[in-house]
Each structure stands twice: as C-alpha cells, then as structure tokens.
Chain A
Amino acid sequence: MRLRKVWIIAAKDFKIFRKKKGIIYSIVGFELFVSIGLPLILKYGGSKTGGIPAAALPAVIDSFSFWFVIGAALLPMSLASYSLIGEKVQKSLEPLLATPITDEEILAGKSIAAAAPALIATYLGAAIFMIIVDRITHTKLDYLYYPNRSMAVILLLMLLATFFSIGFNILISSRSNDVRSAQQIGALIAVPLGAVYILSQMKVISLTVTNLLIMAAILAVVDVVVFYFAKSTFQREEILTRWK
C-alpha cells in the first residue's frame, strides 16, 4: 500500500468536507454539547438542593464520558456517508478505479478521511471535558477526578467505535444510494451504545473499568468481523457490478 496515494484520497475528501458546512457544524455542535454542556450540569444540576452529592459524582461523570463513545460512533458515520455514497451518487468511483490505485488504497484513504476529523474532534472534546470536569469537581471531591483508568478505557472505546462505524458504513454504502438514508441506517449503531448509557443511568449496569474493558474486547472482535466483510465488499468488481 502506497501511503502517498492513500493521503491523496483522504486529502480530496477533506477538501469536500470543508465545503460542506453542515458536516462541520454537526461535529462542532456535538462536541460542544458533550465537552462543555454536560460538565455544566455537574456545576448547576440540583443547585437548589446543594448540587450533586460528592459520592454520586464519579458515577455521573463516568456516564457523561460515555457520550464520547457514542459520538465516536456517530460522527464518522456522517463523514463516511458523504465520502462513500457521495462517490456513488456522483458516479465518480469508475474513473477513480481506472487510475493506478488499488482498492485497498482507496478504502484506506476513505477510512482516514472519515476517522481523522471525528477522532480529532472527539479526543479534543474529551480533553476539554476532563479539564472542565476537574475544575468544577475538584473542590467537592477533594481530588482531581481526571486523568483516570476509566477515561483511558473510554478513549480506547472511542477508537474502536470509530472503526466500527466506518466498517458498518462501508457495508451500508453497498446497498444505499442516498446519503441521508445511509446516515439514518448508520445511526442504528448508536442504539446498543445508547442502551448501555440508559442501562447505566437505570443502574442496571455500572460503567466500571472492568465492564468498559469487556465492552472494548467485544467491540474489538466486532470490528475485526465488520472490517473483514467491509474489505470484501469494497472490491472494484463488486462496486461496479453489484453495488445498488
């Protein structure tokens, strides 16, 4: 695989993303909500009754941090939809495949194009989140909550969720001709992650380091399976003759 070719593909997609303001606004909006909006709940939530008790804070913060995993799954989906289905709608894959580039290089370039902005945004958002949470909670907790092992696993989960999102989107792209419908189908991947969040809020499960590591292990296996199918779907002959 020639990295220069991979980068040419990714750079072209970055250029297209920059011209689609809606994509940028949705990424920035989501990250602002999670990295700044949620910590403000820690500061002002229950302020009339003395705020969130110190003993309850770690569980609340951990559940908030799980939003970054949900974001890491959702944000690349929107980018990958434009990247792959955009090519399909504009019928630009045929001339692209006729150039001296391999299917793997195109796939890698498109994966980087979808993953990089989403990962940069979510990791940056996570850093801002940790700083704000520490500033808001350190007096009540009497220690700095971040960095900790829980967030380290969350950061790992974000990476795995991003890979899952891109692989899933490649599979959807072979069957969809519309960016919006692909995004809607793709949003289904947030359902299991949202369910984990809701179950943690209902105290059915707790987002302990052990539980998060189990989730990471499951997601890693799922990633391998999804990428295996995604790679076999993204073959030039398959694209030109079977993609709907």
Chain B
Amino acid sequence: MIDVNQLTKRFEGVTAVDGLTFRVDKGEVFGFLGPNGAGKTTTMRMLCCLISKTSGEAKVGGYDTGNDNDSLKIRKMIGLVPDNVGLYEELTAYENLDFYGKLYERTEAQRKEAIERYLRIMGLQGKQDQPVGGFSKGMKQKVALARALLHNPQILFFDEPTVNLDPESAKVVRDLILELKGQGKTIFLNTHDLDEAQRICDRIAIINTRLLAINSPAELKRSLGGKQVIFQLASISDAIVNTVKDMKRKNVKVESNRIIVDVADPQKENPDIVREIVAAGGDIQFITESSPDLEDAYLKIVGESK
C-alpha cells in the first residue's frame, strides 16, 4: 500500500529525510520510531501529500505523491490524525465531524451514521452537541480520531494517537487500531511509545533522518543478541566487581547491590560467574535473567547512528 524509494527531503540545505526506502503492506500496522527531529512527521507529511519531496519516490495506494492529480486520489483514501488535533474549538463535535464528512463527499445520511458510530466507539455519545473548546485533551484526541475514520479510509496515518489519553482511553485507541487492522486497513503509526509499538505493530522502522533498522519488534529485540543476567548481592565490593570484569565480560554494570552482566549463553556462563563472585566473597541473594526489550534495541540502534 505504501512504497517508498530513496525518499529525500531537504529544507534550505538541511536534510530532514535522507534516502528512505521501505514498503508497507496492506493490512499491516507499521510503526515509525525515531528521536525528535528524526524526520518522522516530515515523512508522514510527504506521504499524505502535504509537502513535496526533494527527490526519490513515494507511492501510496499505487498513486504517486509527486503527481498533483494523484495527490487528490491519495488524500481521498487516507485518514490523518496529526500530532496537534486541529479541531475548530467554536464548533461542536458533531459540526467538526460533519464539516469533514462534507469534504469527503459523504451524503447527509452517511455522515450522520458515521459520526454517531465513531462518537459512540470513542465514548463521546451525549457530547456531540457541545463545543469542542470545552473538551479535555483526551476527548479532543478522540474527536480527531473519529474525524480520520469518518470516510472509511483504506490507509490511516497516526501521529502519536495516544499521547494525550488516559490509560483506559489509550487502550480504546489501541484496540481500535487492531480492529482496523482486522478490517484490512493499513496503519502507519508515528509513536514514541515503545511499549505501544511493541504491542500493536507488525513491523517497526527506526529512523534518524535515514533508515536505521526495519523489522518486526521480535526481530529487532533479537538483533541485540544475548541476554542480561542480574546478580543481586547482599553487599558489593570493588573486589567482586573487578573479579567479574576480569572475566572479560563485554558489558558489566553495577547498580546499588546488583551486578548486571551481558551474557551470550546464560546456561553455560552463569555457573562460572556465580563461582567467581562467591570466591570473591559475594553473597548472592538471587539471580534474574532479563531479555533486551524494544527500548534497549531502539536505544542501541539510535545510539550507534550518532
């Protein structure tokens, strides 16, 4: 549904997006991660035909974002939830949604049905005739989500969709995204919430101006290799720490009374480490194994790009 090839955007000599190449398949939830200023929103804006590309190619639904005629067709088939909700504060929730329904050429009956349906899903039934200026941030975010879904778009672009929501509302949105995926819709999700990305994305692209990594959350975590083993001691001393470091471990961290060691094969290596710690006078209270999570993978990948 989305094909991006060497997509580049420069603003007055500054490269915001540098040669991105990726593909998003139909029915996929595609996460787009990166630090602030990485070019996530710029990429999303290029795909939504809001700004032009400097070079490269981007196709959405088979249409070329660089072609004026195609861009209107693309905008008919997409729904966008930008990072700022951008609602008309003086208008009611119904009036806001009705305005957008008209722009998407829905009939009055279609608009009414869709507005009532999505306000109900978002838990905003009964609020439809209130000006959105009086709504909380979370309620506004829900109206913006309803706005993006009104015309039954095939591709949805979400920029931080749960950022202003309480945990319960955030879950409603995440469930909705998964429901939309179940309906065969393609979802492009800009997010900083790694837990959210891990839970709902089929694949994740990590960018920092250029593409750093792209894979499923599980594969990204696996790419870090090895595991961490945490040795909780009754007390810690330099002798114990030096003993573990002398074993030529790659990464040894000390946090209060804990020694955290990266190991490739815990079953084989843990007994050696335990023996050395005990020999150095350490009292091991318990040992915990932890696998790297998406945050570790993200921090490592972004860190290496700097």
A residues adjacent to B (C-beta < 8 A):
5, 8, 12, 15-16, 19-20, 90-102, 236-237, 240-241
Are B103 and A240 in contact (CB-based, < 8 A)?
Answer: no
Closest approach, in angstroms, between the C-beta of A9 and any C-beta of chain B? Answer: 8
How far apart sit A16 and B91, CA to CA, in the bound complex (Å)? 7
Partner of A97, one of B50, B52, B91, B131: B50
Digitize B131-166: 1 where CB-to-A-CB distance is under 8 Å, 0 elsewhere: 100000000000010011000000000000000000
Interface pairs (11), CB distance under 8 Å: A16-B91, A20-B90, A90-B86, A90-B88, A95-B81, A95-B144, A96-B86, A98-B78, A101-B103, A236-B51, A240-B51
How far apart sit A91 and B83, CA to CA, in the bound complex (Å)? 10
Are A241 and B51 in contact (CB-based, < 8 A)?
Answer: yes
Interface residue? B117 (CB, 8 A): no
Are A16 and B86 in contact (CB-based, < 8 A)?
Answer: no
CB-CB under 8 A from B11, the residues of chain A are: 241
Closest 4 pairs (CB-CB, A-B): A91-B84, A92-B86, A98-B80, A99-B103
Are A8 and B50 in contact (CB-based, < 8 A)?
Answer: no
Are A95 and B80 in contact (CB-based, < 8 A)?
Answer: yes
Are B90 and A19 in contact (CB-based, < 8 A)?
Answer: yes
Nearest opposing residue in chain A for B102, CB measure: A8
Are A240 and B50 in contact (CB-based, < 8 A)?
Answer: yes
CB-CB under 8 A from A15, the residues of chain B are: 91, 95
Using known A-B contacts A8-B99, A237-B52, determine if residue A92 contacts B87 with beta carbons closer than 8 Å: yes
Using known A-B contacts A12-B99, A241-B51, determine if residue A94 contacts B82 with beta carbons closer than 8 Å: yes
Are B88 and A237 in contact (CB-based, < 8 A)?
Answer: no
Closest approach, in angstroms, between the C-beta of B155 and any C-beta of chain A? Answer: 12
CB-CB under 8 A from B148, the residues of chain A are: 95
CB-CB under 8 A from A240, the residues of chain B are: 45, 50-51
Interface residue? B72 (CB, 8 A): yes
Interface size on B, residues (CB 8 A): 33
Using known A-B contacts A12-B99, A16-B91, A90-B87, determine if residue A98 contacts B48 with beta carbons closer than 8 Å: yes
Partner of B76, one of A91, A95, A96, A100: A100
Nearest opposing residue in chain A for B86, CB measure: A92
Partner of B88, one of A92, A97, A102, A236: A92
Closest approach, in angstroms, between the C-beta of A237 and any C-beta of chain B? Answer: 5
Nearest opposing residue in chain A for B159, CB measure: A94
Using known A-B contacts A100-B76, A236-B51, A240-B51, determine if residue A94 contacts B103 with beta carbons closer than 8 Å: no
Interface residue? B25 (CB, 8 A): no
CB-CB under 8 A from A90, the residues of chain B are: 86-89
37-96 of chain B: CB within 8 A of chain A: 45, 48-52, 72-73, 75-76, 78, 80-82, 84-91, 95
Nearest opposing residue in chain B for A93, CB measure: B86
CB-CB under 8 A from A236, the residues of chain B are: 50-51
How far apart sit A20 and B99, CA to CA, in the bound complex (Å)? 18
Partner of B86, one of A12, A91, A241: A91
How far apart sit A93 and B84, CA to CA, in the bound complex (Å)? 10
Closest approach, in angstroms, between the C-beta of A82 and any C-beta of chain B? Answer: 9
How far apart sit A100 and B51, CA to CA, in the bound complex (Å)? 14
CB-CB under 8 A from A237, the residues of chain B are: 50-52
How far apart sit A93 and B131, CA to CA, in the bound complex (Å)? 19
| Given A90-B87, A91-B82, A101-B75, 10 new contacts (CB under 8 A) | A5-B103, A19-B91, A94-B84, A95-B100, A96-B86, A98-B80, A102-B72, A240-B45, A240-B51, A241-B11
CB-CB under 8 A from A5, the residues of chain B are: 103
Nearest opposing residue in chain A for B11, CB measure: A241
CB-CB under 8 A from A241, the residues of chain B are: 11, 51
Closest approach, in angstroms, between the C-beta of B154 and any C-beta of chain A? Answer: 14
Are B104 and A99 in contact (CB-based, < 8 A)?
Answer: yes
